[in-house]
Amino acid sequence: MPTDRTLAPWASLADTAVTRLRSAIAKDEWFDATDLETVRDDARSAEGLAFKMARATARLDPPNHLPEEQIAAIRRAGGDPHRTDAEGRDRPKVRIPNDTLLLTIRLAATLGTFTQKDKALAEGAVTVIETDRPIGAELFQRVLRALLPVGWRIATGFEAGDGIAIDVHVMPTDDELKATVERSRRDLMKALSSALPILIVTDNIAAFPDAVRRGCDVLRLARPNADIILTALSASHSATGAIDGIPVRAALPTDAHLARIDDTALLLAFRASSPVEVAHRIAATTGPRAGDGPTLADIAGGGKAEAQARRMVRDLQAWQSGEVAWYDVERSVIFNGAPGTGKSYLARAMAGEAGVSLVRGSLAAWQACGHLGDMLRAMRDSFAEARRSAPAVFIIDEIDAIGSRSDGDRHGQRYHRQVINAFLQELDALGEMEGVLVVGTCNDLTAIDPAVLRPGRFDAHVRVPVPGRAAVSGMLRAAFPDTDGGELAPAIRAATGLTAAEIDGAIRAARSAARDAGTGAPHKHLLAALSDRVYPPDIARRIALHESGHAVIAFALDLGMIERIALTPGGGEIELARHKVSGLLSELEDHLVYDLGGRAAETLVLGTPSAGAGGPDNSDLAQATARARNIELTSGLGLSGLAWNGAVSDLDAAIRDRLQNAEARATDILTAHKADLLRIANKLMEHGVLEREEVEDLVATAWVPAERSRTVGQDCPEHARVLREGA
């Protein structure tokens, strides 16, 4: 059957390089053979080394170099007669080490054709080959010699000499000895003044000055694809230089998945005995697996975070279809929120929804690799994997562990600076290529260096809340698909307000309890598994009143939009999308009233407040105190007048009075809207989570705007005293 495929344009270049490599190996005795002269003759033989690269990528004519009975016997044994020679061998006499062979073919594919190779060898040419990971200078030079024209040599540094030469610089990584890195850079700068063509090999082109990058032809070392694998197999797993490529190609994963394969995994796969088995091993390592991960269909009630994820996936798909340019794609986001809220799960769902590769990295994993040099190498490896996996979603977990260069930690300042600088360098380099969505996850957005957070590096910062009712329902129905929805309803209510991680834990506990009891109904154990994660009714009611108090104040003073109210394991939470403010005293005092609205609601309905408003530095009371202190000391709106006083002053009494006045205003507003307060609190007790539309439906349609804040001194005894006494 005649060929029906076009030969890869680089196949002739690869054919020549493999032939020369095999000849060099034969002469240098890089192999184990008893008859050296026979092997040398075979290495020089056109029949033995004129590899029929087309046969690796095309349909083959029936093998005619073997008797029919031998062909039939080979096929009955599951072999490939195309790769078996007349002596019954299915491997070449002269074997090229697989790392050398694969790099040779990848480099040939990178250079493309003899014409493109000649362009890189022209006088004065400067070509950069960017690799995914460091490549040893000795290995690269060995491969390059096989690709250079006859008579060419590789110059070492800034040397002179007879013959035609190319100056090759395999750049060391930044984490090697500083003296080594600096010496390599000096040698390169010196070489630029010569007329020799220069070839630079680096795994970190982002470290080069812009002038160098713009003045060079930059080529990315070709990632493995089906043609490269098949061509390599025709040289490594065939005595004739041919294989039946059709079953091999059918067994290989897509080129997008092949591009992700790790060098070690590829070398392990090539140890298999036949080309088809090599392909199966590669597929087991890199190929897609149905049901491996979630999609956005598995997520509901994720609010702004879910909407952001869907928008970015739509942008990526529009770019893939050619509808929009990559420049117009929103391509990076940080999801922040409490531990266990499903930030990483959401990022995984983005990859599943888009049908693209998922690459994961984390600051903790990088730091666990060892000292600074090891950590930076691991970081670069993750970014390199993301680049070669495009289109892809690249998750960077625990990004807040990157820290900030201004955190005041003098002991670790130098370490943090180097880590952050390297991280920024990698982010910028990744931003220059197309097809990778970057998703960072963190618990504390404020701990991250501002340079990391700026647009262009991370375009959006979105909070991920606890799952809403729809999401909880979806999780439990997926976990117990054979259970009637009515039976799950109590568990859905009990689980609403918990984090995704806590719900997963309860599901596992219920299944374990069912196994222990010998029953086949794990859903019947779910409520018991959730019981220790749910507040008693009296505590839940206090929390619901507290959060509802904040909501009523926000509506009354028109502070913004309530996005969500939830009862959570940490007590409760409310998401307020605040309106922009001008910094007027009345606006600041309105937000003081909001801060204390939860405490006021508890007191109004239950008679006494709890400690729920206090606690850590992000608590209601802490924020209110900080806000009142700023009014008095640093905003120029308090008793200190036109002055900024960063230190503690003698105005603590004035600050306390301002807080008491704000709480009194909150009580007045809540008393006027007590029916709304109770209606919201009761519904929150019933459902656990209320979304914006639900809260708006619960609030009375006719709101009388609450009285705005009074001016300083009119309702504050301490202010009046100070003004009277001229303090």
**Contact by Cβ (8 Å): 241, 235:** yes
φ, ψ at 392 (rounded to 5°): -155, 160
Rounded mean pLDDT of 297-326?
85
What confidence score (pLDDT) does residue 440 get? 95
pLDDT at 670 over 80: yes
Computed on alpha carbons and rounded to an integer, the radius of gyration of the chain in Å comes to 34
Query: For residues 354 and 313, what is the distance between their CA atoms, to the nearest angstrom?
Result: 6
Contacts of 469 (CB under 8 A, 6+ apart): 301, 492, 496, 687, 688, 689
Q: How far is CA 525 from the centre of its chain?
A: 36
Query: For residues 644 and 634, what is the distance between their CA atoms, to the nearest angstrom?
Result: 4
Query: What distances in angstroms separate CA 720 from CA 219, 714, 723, one per listed residue?
Result: 74, 7, 5
Give the pLDDT confidence of 39-66 residue by residue, as tens digits.
Answer: 334 444 433 333 443 333 334 455 556 6
Concatenating the DSSP letter of every residue in 451-492 gives HHHSTTT--EEEE--S--HHHHHHHHHHHSTTS-HHHHHHHH
Most confident range (mean pLDDT) of 24-38, 71-85, 457-471 is: 457-471
- Same topology between domain 296-463 and domain 537-725: no
Query: For residues 605 and 591, what is the distance between their CA atoms, to the nearest angstrom?
Result: 22
Q: How sure is the predictor about 442, in pLDDT bands with cuts at 50, 70 and 90?
A: very high
What confidence score (pLDDT) does residue 535 get? 78
Name the nearest CA neighbour of 231 among 356, 109, 414, 147: 109
CATH architecture label of 99-220? 3-Layer(aba) Sandwich (3.40)
Rounded mean pLDDT of 708-715?
40
Give the pLDDT confidence of 569-618 residue by residue, as tens digits.
Answer: 777 888 888 887 777 888 888 999 999 999 999 999 999 988 877 666 67
pLDDT at 271 over 90: yes
Query: For residues 689 and 695, what is the distance between their CA atoms, to the nearest angstrom?
Result: 10
**Contact by Cβ (8 Å): 389, 357:** yes
φ, ψ at 72 (rounded to 5°): -65, -40
What confidence score (pLDDT) does residue 239 get? 81
What confidence score (pLDDT) does residue 99 get? 93
pLDDT at 665 over 90: yes
Q: Ramachandran region of residue 650, left (φ > 0), alpha (ψ -120 to 50) or beta?
A: alpha
Preceding omega of 63 cis (within 30 degrees of 0): no
**Contact by Cβ (8 Å): 241, 49:** yes
Most confident range (mean pLDDT) of 225-234, 473-482, 568-577 is: 225-234
pLDDT at 142 over 50: yes
Rounded mean pLDDT of 173-187?
65
Q: How far is CA 44 from the centre of its chain?
A: 50
Between 165-174, 255-264, 413-422, the lowest mean confidence (pLDDT) is in: 165-174
Q: Which CATH number fits domain 537-725: 3.40.50.800, 1.20.58.760, 3.40.47.10, 1.10.3720.10?
A: 1.20.58.760
- Domains of the chain by residue range: 99-220, 296-463, 469-531, 537-725
Query: For residues 56 and 393, what is the distance between their CA atoms, to the nearest angstrom?
Result: 33
Concatenating the DSSP letter of every residue in 88-111 gives S--S-SSPPPHHHHHHHHHHHHHH
Query: For residues 471 and 490, what is the distance between their CA atoms, to the nearest angstrom?
Result: 15
Structure token digits, residue 148: 């250079």
Between 115-124, 281-290, 341-350, 590-599, the lowest mean confidence (pLDDT) is in: 281-290
Torsion angle (degrees, nearest 10) of CA 712, 715, 719, 723: 80
What confidence score (pLDDT) does residue 347 get? 92
Q: How sure is the predictor about 182, in pLDDT bands with cuts at 50, 70 and 90?
A: confident
Name the nearest CA neighbour of 228 among 4, 2, 3, 17: 17
Rounded mean pLDDT of 354-370?
89
Rounded mean pLDDT of 490-506?
84
pLDDT at 717 over 80: no
What confidence score (pLDDT) does residue 284 get? 86
Query: Between 125 and 71, whose confidence is greater?
Result: 125
Three-state SS string over 322-349 comes to CCCCHHHCCCEEEEECCCCCCHHHHHHH
Query: For residues 457 and 451, what is the distance between their CA atoms, to the nearest angstrom?
Result: 8
What confidence score (pLDDT) does residue 52 get? 42
3-state percent breakdown (helix, strand, coil) of the chain, nearest 5: 55, 10, 35
So what CATH class is 296-463? alpha beta
Q: How far is CA 584 from the centre of its chain?
A: 41
φ, ψ at 564 (rounded to 5°): -170, 145
What confidence score (pLDDT) does residue 722 get? 32
Torsion angle (degrees, nearest 10) of CA 704, 705, 707, 709: 160
CA angle 587, 592, 595 (to 5 degrees): 130
Handedness of CA 553, 559, 565, 567 (dihedral sign): negative
Q: Ramachandran region of residue 711, left (φ > 0), alpha (ψ -120 to 50) or beta?
A: beta
What confidence score (pLDDT) does residue 501 get? 85
pLDDT at 553 over 90: yes
CA angle 354, 358, 360 (to 5 degrees): 145
pLDDT at 369 over 80: yes
Q: Checking DSSP bridges between strand 460-463 and strand 436-442, what pairing results, if any?
A: unpaired
